[in-house]
Homo-oligomer: A and B are copies of this chain.
Amino acid sequence: MQKVNIILVGFGRVGRAFYELLKEKYDHYRERYGLFLELRAIVRKSGTVLLSGTRKMVSEAESGSGEKSELSGWIQTFSLADLLEEFKSGVLVDCTPSDLKTGEPGYSLTKMALSQGWHVVTASKGALVVHPSELAAEARKNQLALKASGATAAALPTLDVGLHSLAGAEILAIEGILNGTTNYILTRMADGLSFSRALMEASEKGIAEPNPVQDIEGWDTAAKMIIIANKVLGTEIKMSETRVHGINGLTEEIMARAAQIGKTIKLIGRCSRESPGAPWKVEVGLALLNPDHPLAMVDGSNKGIIFYTDCMGYVVVTGGKSDPRGAAAALIKDIISIYWRDF
């Protein structure tokens, strides 16, 4: 039995789902994995909520504003640095929004946590896209985990498969449908809807985010593929070197033309190289798939990935729930994998 301190930063849709799921399944994690997953604090824009602290912290909180939050903790002015120091070690869970240009705030959070001996599990792509090598080196130096299932298609296993299930095999190329919003739009356009009608439907159903431009233009797919490639292939691919085309500009006529020749249009992220030893490249763009392509059947907000290998053939993974609860479950999976072994 092991106690694991958890500090959650960010309380948007995924952060809130993480909080709920952890509360709901706390007993299951203890019984099945021997882990007490203890959420100590939630760092939000509107103030830190201390859920269970050291005696010193609780008394400080009570003698302070004494204000109780709806999450049955104390709202206090503890900074992240205070929390990391007070709880000594554990896992920082980063659910802050992704900024693919600056990598912030994830970059500063992750650096601070790693330098203070905390593992990091993230649902945020920015830091890993902008500063992958620096953060990987910092984690390695301190023998700490920096896990990113939540940032790489979440409940769909991508990094696990590439790093672990295919360990020892040489990966020759990776292809994926990594964005649920655009795949939903393409699926509905294949049903005959216009782009704008399909997008509106995706928004109404809560599949598309309020500002889906990063999804539509392909940047979200590119970011995920870059993180996967950097971790699995040991590359150092930058966004600026990546050719990215999204689904904007796609018309009903093009969809109809593809259907006429028996093809399916999908937004594919791809990492490949021209020959062994040549540099790896990431590209994102629309592809015409034959109906027997393993990703051609991945419809709606589903996602999928293919790893092509030298000695294990190709391995395709599809499914995995594309919602905040699925993403939260992926974060918890990453936490469990840090502490639990199956022997």
Interface residues of A, Cβ cutoff 8 Å to B: 21, 25, 28-29, 33, 119, 139-140, 143-146, 155-157, 160-161, 163-170, 231, 292, 294, 297, 306, 311-322, 325-326, 328-330, 332-333, 336-338, 340, 342-343
> In angstroms, how far is the closest chain B Cβ from the Cβ of A205?
15
Closest B residue to A165 by beta carbon equals B157
Least distance between A235 CB and chain B CB atoms (Å): 14
Q: Looking across the interface, which residue of chain B has its beta carbon closest to that of A325?
A: B311
If A160-B164, A165-B161 touch, whether A155 touches B313 (CB-CB below 8 Å) is yes
Take A294-B318, A315-B155 as given contacts and tell me if A163 and B342 are in contact as well, using a CB distance cutoff of 8 Å.
yes
Contact of A333 among B29, B165, B329 (CB under 8 A): B165
Q: Assess whether B294 is in contact with A329, with CB atoms less than 8 Å apart.
A: no
A155 to B309, CA, bound (A): 10
**Given known contacts A163-B342, A167-B336, A311 and B321 CB-to-CB distance under 8 angstroms:** yes
Q: Is the CB of A164 within 8 A of B292?
A: no
Q: Is the CB of B168 within 8 A of A160?
A: no
Contacting residues, chain B, for A167 (C-beta < 8 A) = 33, 332-333, 336-337, 340
Closest B residue to A142 by CB, please name it.
B343
Q: What are 17 contact pairs spanning A and B, CB under 8 A? A: A28-B168, A143-B343, A144-B343, A145-B343, A146-B343, A161-B317, A164-B333, A165-B333, A167-B337, A294-B319, A311-B321, A312-B330, A312-B333, A314-B319, A314-B320, A315-B317, A317-B317
B343 pairs with A155, CB closer than 8 A:
no
- CB within 8 Å for A169 and B313 given contacts A342-B163, A343-B143, A343-B146: no
Chain B residue numbers with a CB within 8 Å of A325 are: 311
- Check A316/B315 contact, CB under 8 A, given A33-B167, A157-B165: no
Closest 8 CB pairs of A and B: A313-B321, A157-B165, A155-B312, A145-B343, A160-B165, A167-B336, A168-B332, A311-B329
Write the chain B residue with the least CB distance to A313: B321
Please give the distance in Å from A325's CB to the nearest CB on chain B.
5
Interface centre among A21, A161, A169 (most CB of B within 10 A): A169
Whole-angstrom CA separation of A322 from B313 in the bound complex: 8
Could you tell me the distance between the alpha carbons of A22 and B338 in the complex, rounded to whole angstroms?
A: 28
A306: B residues at CB distance < 8 A: 319
Contacts of A340 in B (CB 8 A): 167
| C-alpha spacing A328/B297, complex, angstroms | 30
Our pick among B21, B163, B297, B320 for the contact of A292 (Cβ within 8 Å) is B297
Residues of B within 8 A of A155 (CB): 311-313, 315
